[in-house]
Chains A and B, each alone.
Chain A
Amino acid sequence: MTAAISASGLVKSFGRTRALDGLDLSVDTGAIHGFLGPNGAGKTTTLRILLGLLRADAGDVQLLGGDPWRDAVALHRRLAYVPGDVTLWPELSGGEVIDLLGRLRGGFDARRRASLLERFDLDPTKKCGTYSKGNRQKVALIAALASDVELLLLDEPTSGLDPLMEAQFREIVMEERAGNRTVLLSSHILAEVEAVCDRVTIIRAGQTVESGTLAELRHLTQTSVTAELAGPPSGLAELPGVHDLQVDGTRVRCQVDAGELNAVLGQLTAAGVRNLVTQPPTLEELFMRHYRTDAQAGDDPSRGHPEVAR
């Protein structure tokens, strides 16, 4: 399979801030690729480099077989972009903006436009100045989805959408899978990415930390277990898939891999459960753990030890 996007060693600094610090990203043609990271990780900067709006300080980047900086106009005929914070011209109506952006891109499907308007429940006659954030987001999404392009670059496209519209968006992206379009979906909502993406790249502080299929990354989805027991537990440490075990008398805390939950619960009930809380980890917790591991191992001297840095 060929790569629709391949970037390696991307570096981009804004003054003293290093937004990208050797980022790698590879997106296969036809894949729906999740691009995950907390706020400020460099997702938007990466997308802007892919669009040729920013020029990388170092690194190689190829988009649809071209150079995004040099061949911007030719490449943009073949892609559509939805920015994370959509701003539109207040004096134009939503319908006008959808048509204008579609025409500037080189044409769009009028039937698809009509059906998307209906599915997203958007009134195209309102002036953009009076739209809410969610409605502005819908305008940009419809303009992008209605155009007949090979690649969709979506930067946190569901921020501002209500849950109903979010579900609608997921459904539409799932349909794109059948249409053989490539989608790069930047997000910080793990559930959204899990629901629609084939492959995922996770970045932090301008660097790629994980990249692979969801199955490969499944180990990231550990469940956090906190239990209050009748007596002290036994045998938990020996079980496979148990991490970060803390036993404090009859209180137990640990992280458990998705497949191993049953065995852990068996050991807990054997000791007698008084109270039990289980919780899937948030994305933030995953990143926090990456951060802690780095700091303890001291494998990145440039970053420094948090205690020392403070």
Chain B
Amino acid sequence: MTVSWLRLERYALGEGGPEERAAVEAALRSDPDARAILDAIRTDRRRPPPLRPARPARWRLALPLGALALAGALVSVGLPRGGPGDKGGALALELLRVRDGVTTASPETVAVGERLGLRLTCPPGPADIDVVVYHGGTAAFPLPRTTVACGNAVPLPGGFSADAPGLLVACVAVDPPPRAVLAADRDAADVCVDVMVSQ
């Protein structure tokens, strides 16, 4: 094979200068093995699990103030509210994207300004929850704290959107701690989902 996995991964990521990209493209034209690898990279739709790292100390100090700033950047836009299910199991969270009137669950990407919502699966019964969204290094609370009737894939009332590109992580805390705690520590939430926001 004339080009390595490393170079092909970087090519797929859009990295490397014009010369390197031209060299990879030349290899792809003549090397079926390289094409097979690039195809494998591009067709791999598996997504990494959400990252739930312990935050470094300086983030813990910085986030509570930053969280207040983001509150205005995430706009509550409202989403259709469905009826609660009745067979909840373990906690699970799904992101919903509304584009051109069509709702898509677990989208690969979302765009700035698109309406987003959440669907929560939780053990049957009432649950007090709070939604926290981490984006651009800060945290925001786009939805009011509420009580939901848990079940399978229960749509949470309301929605939000992002006003800038980058990774967005939406989390739900059940029996939530104070918002200052959630803003400072993502591990304080119970379940999260992430998505890349594009321009």
Chains A and B bind each other: no
